[in-house]
Chain A
Amino acid sequence: MEFSITEIAQLANLRLTKEEEAALAVDLESFLSLAAQMREPEEAARRAELPSVLRQDREQSSLPQEEALQNAPETRDGCFVLPRAIGGESHA
Chain B
Amino acid sequence: MREPIPDSALALSRALSRRELSAREAALACLSRMEAREDELHAFLTVTREEALAAADRVDSRRAAGEELPPLAGVPMAVKDNLCTRGVRTTCGSRMLEHFVSPYDATAVARLREAGCPLLGKTNLDEFAMGCDTGASAFGPTANPVDPARVPGGSSGGSAAAVAAREALFALGSDTGGSVRQPAALCGVVGLRPTYGRISRYGLTGFAPSFDQIGLLTRTVEDCAAVLEAVAGFDPRDATSARVFSEGVLRAVGEGVRGLTIALVRESEEEASPGVRRELLRAVRCLESRGARVDELSLPFLRDMLPAYHILAAAEASSNLARFDGVRYGFRAPEAVSWQELIRESRSRGFGPEVKRRILLGTLALTKERYDACYGRASRIRAATGAALREALARFDLLLLPASPETAWRRGEKRSPVALYRSDLFAVPASMAGLPAVSVPFGAEQGLPVGMQLVGRAFEEAALLRAARALEEENA
Contacts and interface: CB of A to CB of B under 8 A. Distances in A.
B331 to A, nearest CB: 8
Interface in A18-66: 20, 24, 27-28, 30-32, 34-48, 53, 55, 63
Contact of B416 (A30, A37, A47, A83): A30
Interface stretch (B106-114, B139-147, B304-312): B304-312
A9 to B, nearest CB: 7
Given A15-B348, A31-B307, A35-B374, A44 B380 contact: yes
A82 B342 contact: yes
A74 B342 CA distance: 12
A39 to B, nearest CB: 5
* Most central of B301, B345, B417 by chain A CB within 10 Å: B417
B245 interface: no
Interface string A68-92: 1011111000001011110011011
Interface of B is mostly: helix
B384 A14 contact: no
A82 B326 CA distance: 9
Given A38-B307, A67-B103, A89 B386 contact: no
B104 interface: yes
B383 A47 contact: yes
Nearest to B303: A37
B387 interface: yes
B347 A14 contact: yes
Contacts, number: 161
Contacts of B384: 41-45
Given A31-B310, A55-B239, A71-B328, A11 B387 contact: no
B357 A27 contact: yes
B329 A71 contact: yes
A89 B348 contact: no
B432 to A, nearest CB: 12
Contacts of B330: 71, 73
Q: How large is the interface on B (under 10, 10 to 19, 20 to 34, 35 or more residues)?
A: 35 or more
B360 interface: yes
Contacts of A63: 103-104
Interface string B366-391: 01011001100110110111111010
A8 B356 CA distance: 11
B90 to A, nearest CB: 10
A74 B387 contact: no
A81 B387 CA distance: 49
Given A16-B348, A89-B340, A89-B341, A28 B387 contact: no
B361 A28 contact: yes
A13 B343 CA distance: 7
Interface string B308-329: 1011000000100010011111
Contact of B332 (A55, A68, A73): A73
B338 A55 contact: no
A30 B418 contact: yes
B348 A55 contact: no
B336 interface: yes
Nearest to A52: B239
B359 A12 contact: yes
Nearest to B419: A30
Contacts of B360: 5, 8-9, 12, 14, 24, 28
A76 to B, nearest CB: 13
A44 B325 CA distance: 38
Nearest to A88: B338
A57 B301 CA distance: 42
A80 B344 CA distance: 18
A11 B367 contact: yes
Nearest to A10: B344
B363 A12 contact: yes
Contacts of A12: 318, 347, 359-360, 363
A3 B327 contact: no
Interface string B384-411: 1111101000000000000000000000
Contacts of B327: 72-73, 80, 82
Contacts of A34: 307, 418
A40 B377 contact: yes
A13 B370 CA distance: 19
21 contacts: A3-B367, A3-B370, A8-B363, A8-B364, A13-B344, A27-B416, A30-B418, A32-B364, A35-B378, A37-B303, A38-B307, A46-B383, A48-B386, A67-B103, A68-B103, A71-B101, A73-B330, A80-B328, A83-B341, A88-B339, A91-B340
Interface of A: 3, 5, 8-9, 11-16, 20, 24, 27-28, 30-32, 34-48, 53, 55, 63, 67-68, 70-74, 80, 82-85, 88-89, 91-92
Given A9-B360, A71-B99, A71-B100, 6 more contacts: A5-B360, A8-B367, A27-B416, A28-B360, A38-B307, A84-B337
